Structure 1
Amino acid sequence: MPSETTYVHLDTITNAVLMSKGFTMSEYKDAVNKPIKNILLLSAPKGVGEYDSHTGFRMIRGIAKIQEYFEQSQNTNVVPSKWIDFESVELMRQLTPVEISELLYIAHTYTHLHSPFYYKLQNNYIHLTLPEGITKVYYRKLDQFYSLLSVSITNNLEKKINDKRNVFLFKKNKKIMRLPMSEVKKLLPLLKEGVVFSFKKLKMDQEVYEIPIYLAEDRLKFVNRDFPEKDLLGNLCFDEKKQKWFFKEERGL
């Protein structure tokens, strides 16, 4: 089922993103060219992965095993999803006690003490699932986030369109053009304030699909509720005939 709302709040100083849901494994594979090789689980029950005596964390090594872990986390919601990726086991085992304690701090408080990107780990991400169900991810390169968001929004719109077609017309699913990263980047001023993309209120006007974007800031409790029209910032639009994405502003910040 497509997501009814997607909350996004981007901090460009720390490269941290708050979202109302994590990305699916298929979205990750569609958006990122370089797969994750290894991860340290910052919070995990016994039996998941293998124990690393140097850090005291459990770890998962190998692309296939990591994909299996991600899919299990998303499908069952049982396995805690707090992890940091790393390139080399040898370098990871050179982490100092202070650096290991910083990782424990991040897992406990959901924020960093110093830089969230470690030379010895060469990590591209720190992934944290907060108690409220919000996902917080640190990205070494924000282009990785822009690419993932473009895939997520495209998939949600595509599913919405096909759900309606299948119910009423019994037609085959259609594919739509992926939202370009250049258009995602144009939304940067909005993403920095905290917004909700409402697929629940998706409209169609003369072959143009309009996804309303509402100002949410840090009102996480209201993410899944209907926002008043005074909070409408604009619509992210897809012109099906022209196969073009664009943003239609309703009001400024």
Structure 2
Amino acid sequence: MPSESTYVHLDTITNAVLSKGITMDEYKDAVKKPPKNILLLNAPKGIGEYDSHTGFRMIRGIAKIQEYFEKSENTIDTSPKWIDFESVELMRQLSPVEISELLYIAHAHTHLHSPFYYKLQNNYIYLTLPKGMTKVYYRNLDRFYSILSVNITNNLEKKVNEKKNVFLFKKVKKITCIPVSKVKEMFPLLKEGIVFSFKNLTIKQEVYEIPVYLAEDRLNFVDRDFLEKNLLGNLCFSEKKQKWFFKEAENIQLL
């Protein structure tokens, strides 16, 4: 089933993205350079291997990490929290203070100092929050834009084909992936906090229109029915021209 909506709020100061509706599979598919190793900040016994220096469990090797990502979508780990690292030798040079900072991040879902550690050379910190939310720190925000591109395209494609699937002989319609450059153009909106509402998708003259609503950081707004006054515009895909574009709402009002 397609997601009903995707919520994104980008913090440009810390490169942290609060989101809902982005799956681990989409993360796996979009990241071109996956982590080599990860420390699991809250994993139960039986997942990965125990590291006596940090007290965390860890998974080493790209193949094993990809397998963990796939399984964590189901039941292996329902609330994953992890940080990637380059070298086991350098990771084992973490000081007690640095290890305690990682414990704090896992517990409080925020950082004390920089979320990017020299000894780890980490590119991410991935945190699962209550109510289906995730918070991810990105060293390079371009990686997030790639993930959001995959998410938007996947959800539109699934929504378009949702009704077709009941007819066995209907050809599945493929949607051209939204360019990362187009996603980056939405930066001013992403940092305000927005919801892409696939539930309210409309089709006008072979143009698919995904309403985009202002939500800010008010998480209780994410799953509700939005008011027209909160509409910022529509993210559109022209099937005829195979082009993506954003159409701004005529009368934008803040919450």
Q: TM-score, normalised by structure 2?
A: 0.95
Q: 1: CA distance between counterparts of 2:106 and 2:157?
A: 35
Q: Secondary structure at the match of 1:132?
A: helix
Structure-1 separation of matches of 2:28 and 2:80 = 18
Q: Tell me how far apart the structure 2 counterparts of residues 158 and 13 of structure 1 sit (CA, whole Å).
A: 33
Q: CA deviation at 1:63?
A: 1.4
Note if contact 1:44-1:79 (Cα within 8 Å) is conserved in structure 2: no
- Show the counterpart of 1:65: 64
1:64 partner SS:
helix
5+ long unaligned stretches in structure 1: none
Mapping of residues 40-189 of structure 1, within 5 Å? 40-76=39-75, 78-167=77-166, 170-189=169-188
* Cα contact 1:72–1:79 (8 A) shared by 2: no
Give unmatched runs, 5+ long, in structure 2: none
| Residue aligning to 2:11 | 11
- 1:165 deviates by 2.6
Letter in 2 for 1:18: L
Deviations 1:26-45 (A, max 9, x none): x2343221121110001011
Amino acid at match of 1:47: G
Please give the per-residue CA displacement for 1:105-138, whole angstroms capped at 9, x wherever unaligned.
Answer: 1001000011101111111100000122210000
CA-atom RMSD in angstroms: 1.5
1:159 partner amino acid:
K
Q: Which residue of 2 aligns with 1:20?
A: 20
Amino acid in structure 2 at the alignment position of 1:7:
Y
2 CA distance for matches of 1:176 and 1:213? 19
1:67-124 Cα deviation digits (max 9, x unpaired): 2211221112744300000111001001111111110110010000111011111111
In 2, Cα distance between the equivalents of 1:57 and 1:24? Answer: 21
**1:11 partner letter:** D
User: In 2, Cα distance between the equivalents of 1:170 and 1:104?
Assistant: 53
Given the alignment of the two structures, is residue 207 of structure 1 paired with residue 198 of structure 2, yes or no?
no
Give the total of aligned pairs.
252
Aligned to 1:218: 217
Shift of 1:139: 0.4
Are residues 60 and 78 of structure 1, via their aligned partners in 2, closer, same or farther at CA, if it must alter by over 3 Å? closer
Instruction: Give 1:23 shift.
Output: 2.7
